[in-house]
Structure 1
Amino acid sequence: MSSVFEIREHTIECQHIRQYARATANSQDDVLHLAVKQYIPLDNQNPKEGDITIIGACANGFPKELYEPLWKDLYARSKSSGFRIRGIWIADTAMQGASGILNEQLLGNDPAWTDHVRDLLHMTNVFRSEMPMPIVGVGHSYGGNILCNLALIHPRLLSTLILLDPVVQEHASTVSGPSPAWASTWRRDFWPSRAEAEASFRKSKFYQTWDSRVLDRWCKYGLRETPTPLYPKEKGVTLATTKYQECFTFLRPSWEAMSEDGKTVVKRELVPDMDPGFLTKFPFYRPEPPTTLKRIAELRPSVFYVFGSLSDMSSPEACKYKLETTGTGTGGSGGAKEGMVDGVRLEGIGHLVAMEATEKCADAAAAWLRKEVKRFEKERMEYMEWTKQSMEAKTTFSEEWKRRIGPPLKPIPQSKL
């Protein structure tokens, strides 16, 4: 990566007050921190207007560094696709990866996906001088959900979204059987040595479909040496993101708020964001996937979906719904019929599209950006043309305004000034 990007690391404070009280262990006023990486192309140290900034958002349980091969592949396609990258920004969520290690003495057991939405918004304000428009969001899995919600709370912040098999659906992970949450609950999380852990990963069928560059980074950044608070005496390695925080992110318990049969909410204050239509998922729920699905029609940025054909998130019916609905509502972009929404389905690829098909994801993203940067430039030039007017013209009523608002009922006396 060093041959392509200059990499800068930053640590910033997270948004004040988390969505759920038990997100922090000791005090609701605890200050959490965010570990951020910035990737600057070495051949674009003096960026120009119109060069794009990318904000990335990772999948649950995976460190931000796993997306470096995707950034490198996208950079390799950028010039031939007619765009230049100003910089790429990505952060581990507060309870995961390097951020989780920074915060491990403060974290509780109740993270909200929307906490990271607000943390990213704060990040754009902290680094605003390095993030001029256009800003492109690239999010994978639950990171795609996060970027949708960032666009919903600030519709003009992101000019386009590239969503890699996003978790935007009617339900969270299933709560029984071989679901991701079930698998992670019982996963191994300690090895006597890094070499033994790496050998285990490379032998596992789960990782054998991954791009080798991504797997190399998982072996490097997905582990940390012990001792840690969870393993204070053992010498070896454990997961950089604890399996506990990964599972708390997958699902939120609802049993304390429900009747014994799971059919009635008895403590509404514990599950204020639970949709009554999803009580069948007792004793867990996750509010963000269905609430986001309900609002995709409101998305203002253009959207490009990259679906995995083997993904449980991306049945043909689910893909069709997203493509037909995204951006079509009040406040939205106009959707596919306006050329603002499109997508591709990667055959033979599962939910982990960014790990399994890194180059195909970069191909699809670059092709979309080739088209979108022309729209960005057109909008920028239209604004620049407007700025050339006098300050009086830009800050007072135009003749068109007066004509359309209608004449006064009485003559307006002339000001003595």
Structure 2
Amino acid sequence: MILVEPTMMTREILKNALEKDTHLIRAVEVARKRKDIWPSREAAREYFSTRLPWRRWDKRVLDLYTEHALYDLPTSTYPDKKGVTFTITRAQEAGSMSHHEDGFDALDILQSICPVLPVHTVFGEHDDMVPVETQEAIVSVAEGRRMKSIVRVAGAGHLVVQEDPCGTALAIWGILQGEYAQVTIRVPSHL
């Protein structure tokens, strides 16, 4: 199993995150208030290219995002508007950062998976969104989550897949090479 920037945290870390001004609180607020209508995909692409987090993304990812993560208006959310908007609403995005039970459950399940299955974790090098203490809790040996490997992609942050897809792919490839380099696959001959 390979986890890439997993979105999990302990209940204690979440409690602390909700008590002070953190990346999580700010991300939810930004999602609730952010601009979400543009006159065209080209205008949206231009907007994204100058603002975080999108301006840090690989150009190819940003192009695909602009093509596939936007709906043409009107939509049920904006029945009287023209242009383009996100495929998910602001409320849906904020909600995705506000429900944490799946992350708690995943951490619990990892405790039973790690002893029987090699689990690898890929993080971005920078803790721009997910604090180091959260990453350490995810891979906590004391909590029974002993990873087979932990890889950090240089120069990337929490959105490592979008920021450095090649670096992410190389990290995964390196894990697979290490895991399966000694495996000989026999393919039956059809002579």
TM-score (norm 2): 0.78
Question: Any residues of structure 2 matched to 1:148-297 within 5 Å, and which?
Answer: 161-170=1-10, 171-172=13-14, 174-175=17-18, 177=21, 179-252=26-99, 286-297=100-111
Structure 2 match to 1:309: 125
Q: Give the partner amino acid of 1:301.
A: L
Q: Taking CA–CA contacts closer than 8 Å with sequence separation of 6 or more, which of the two structures ends up with the larger relative contact order?
A: 2
CA-CA distance at 1:319 after TM superposition: 4.0
**Cα separation, 2, equivalents of 1:356 and 1:371:** 24
CA-CA distance at 1:218 after TM superposition: 1.1
CA-CA distance at 1:342 after TM superposition: 0.5
The secondary structure found in structure 1 opposite 2:53 is: helix
Unaligned runs of 5+ in 2: 187-191
Largest Rg, 1 or 2: 1
**Cα separation, 1, equivalents of 2:32 and 2:141:** 35
**Cα separation, 2, equivalents of 1:230 and 1:349:** 34
Q: Give the partner amino acid of 1:291.
A: D
Flag the 1:250–1:172 CA change in 2: closer, same or farther, 3 A.
farther
**Cα separation, 1, equivalents of 2:87 and 2:142:** 35
RMSD of Structure 2 on Structure 1 (CA): 2.8
CA-CA distance at 1:166 after TM superposition: 0.5
Is residue 153–residue 171 contact of structure 2 (8 Å, CA) maintained in 1? no
TM-score (norm 1): 0.38
Larger strand share, 1 or 2:
1
How many percent identity over aligned positions? 27
**Cα separation, 1, equivalents of 2:131 and 2:124:** 6
**Cα separation, 1, equivalents of 2:118 and 2:107:** 16
CA-CA distance at 1:327 after TM superposition: 9.6
Is residue 296–residue 325 contact of structure 1 (8 Å, CA) maintained in 2? no
**Cα separation, 1, equivalents of 2:53 and 2:137:** 29
Flag the 1:305–1:326 CA change in 2: closer, same or farther, 3 A.
farther
**Cα separation, 2, equivalents of 1:199 and 1:191:** 10
Is residue 298–residue 326 contact of structure 1 (8 Å, CA) maintained in 2? no
Is residue 37–residue 85 contact of structure 2 (8 Å, CA) maintained in 1? yes
The secondary structure found in structure 2 opposite 1:224 is: strand
Question: Any residues of structure 2 matched to 1:101-180 within 5 Å, and which?
Answer: 161-170=1-10, 171-172=13-14, 174-175=17-18, 177=21, 179-180=26-27
CA-CA distance at 1:326 after TM superposition: 9.1
Structure 2 match to 1:364: 171
Q: Give the partner amino acid of 2:69.
A: G
Question: Any residues of structure 2 matched to 1:69-88 within 5 Å, and which?
Answer: none
Is residue 45–residue 62 contact of structure 2 (8 Å, CA) maintained in 1? no
Flag the 1:324–1:172 CA change in 2: closer, same or farther, 3 A.
closer
**Cα separation, 2, equivalents of 1:238 and 1:322:** 34
The secondary structure found in structure 1 opposite 2:3 is: strand
